[in-house]
Structure 1
């Protein structure tokens, strides 16, 4: 591990009892946490360069820990039960767990870490978005430059809120990603909020010419485009056509390529997937 402050923090956690602290280590050294009566940990799904198969990032996902299941999404279990303040608390706990579980693994190999920001956080936090998480990263001496915050989809009426929050995160040193429902919306977001990453759903690729144009504009702006939820061969074939038309190297993420898991990929696994 190349992060000595994190290593010292993990050493302290290793002696903690799960009944007396909100974060502890399991027998395999993974950080776990508690929210309500649920024990949770991190799973990571790779974002790959489609042509070569190399991993450029991982998205951190919160999963329950239970002998009765294989790890369910915490947000699906708790979102409707939690208040706004509790959702903010869960959101921040998830990001801290993911950062610990990601950077403690030597196999992260310079990849970025994508972390979700829940939609309730946008309106529940009044100002200075990102400051609390920035302080945690600074305290653990973890590289803020390797983290991309995934902002939720907003309505047209919330456009001002997205711009305000994005500016807050940028001023606190974070890169951020936005979701676009179409090539047209993607072009609008490029102009309005200048995201570092833009994500589009690979299940809706009908406008292949428009997406090729978006990729070209995004490359000029220095914005990475990730096609998420790639789950079918039809989506893969559409992306291959879009890549050929645009001349851009495409980034993709989805169950057709990888399932989320707690351990990051070894170099050999990455090369095998690329082959």
Structure 2
């Protein structure tokens, strides 16, 4: 367990670093769509709807200072990276379930990690979770764009993680990649960068195609009120990003 402001959370130690968990909300904005007012106070977190779940983010804890920590920038050895990633994901799961949060826990997986484990992706993590009495079905393994771009690899990874009880989300490298998503794998969620989709005028086509696939589409990295307002015009259902993190913190 941590100390000070982190005394109620599990923390992990790597070298001389102490790392902890934080969580970004993923909102279902369709829930309150009819009652919602675009002029409602930005600092009111409940204006965004209900939470589908949370994205885990690893943080570097340094006294009162808390910074986002990317282990892939610090570790060059692949096996050491696998161990650190497993430790981080276990920590996130313990903190998430220990706080009795509702919804799903989204955990990112880096391409480099996927290639470092040769087969049975998800087996080790599933075994760890079950040993703690935790349910893998409430965890969404989030695959990076590089993995989604390779159909065969995507199909194998999706089936492997789902076999061990996890749900799987795929980050689209570009809007056009959604056309090949259903060929090799049945993803549980699709994620797309909101800024890129808005810039390329692809929000409406993406929403329509995802609806035909019957796969929930999450628009990620929503940074401004303007982006949020534009997304709502296209019947977008799920959103996450810096805008909602700021509002959740100010409403806490």
* TM-score between the two structures when normalised by the length of structure 1: 0.76
Q: Distance in 1 between matches of 2:199 and 2:246?
A: 25
Measure how far apart 1:187 and its partner are: 2.4
Q: Does residue 1:242 correspond to 2:234, yes or no?
A: yes
Question: Partner residue of 1:206?
Answer: 199
| Pairwise CA RMSD | 2.5
* Alignment match of 1:39 (pick from 3, 13, 18): 18
- Conserved 8 A contact 1:153-1:178: yes
Q: Does residue 1:97 correspond to 2:76, yes or no?
A: no
Q: Does residue 1:257 correspond to 2:244, yes or no?
A: yes
Q: Distance in 2 between matches of 1:156 and 1:99?
A: 24
- Conserved 8 A contact 2:107-2:140: yes
Question: Partner residue of 1:4?
Answer: none
**Which sections of structure 2, spanning at least 5 residues, go unmatched?**
33-48
Matches within 5 A, 1:94-173: 94-106=88-100, 108-109=101-102, 111-154=103-146, 158-173=150-165
Measure how far apart 1:33 and its partner are: 0.4
- Conserved 8 A contact 1:154-1:162: no
Measure how far apart 1:259 and its partner are: 4.0
Measure how far apart 1:94 and its partner are: 1.1
SS at match of 2:245: coil
Measure how far apart 1:145 and its partner are: 1.3
**CA offset digits 1:145-179 (Å, max 9, x no partner):** 11100111216874422222222111111111101
* Alignment match of 1:62 (pick from 58, 75, 97): 58
Question: Partner residue of 2:8?
Answer: 29
Question: Partner residue of 2:79?
Answer: 85
Distance 1:168 1:203, change over 3 A: same
Q: Distance in 2 between matches of 1:126 and 1:219?
A: 34
Distance 1:95 1:206, change over 3 A: same
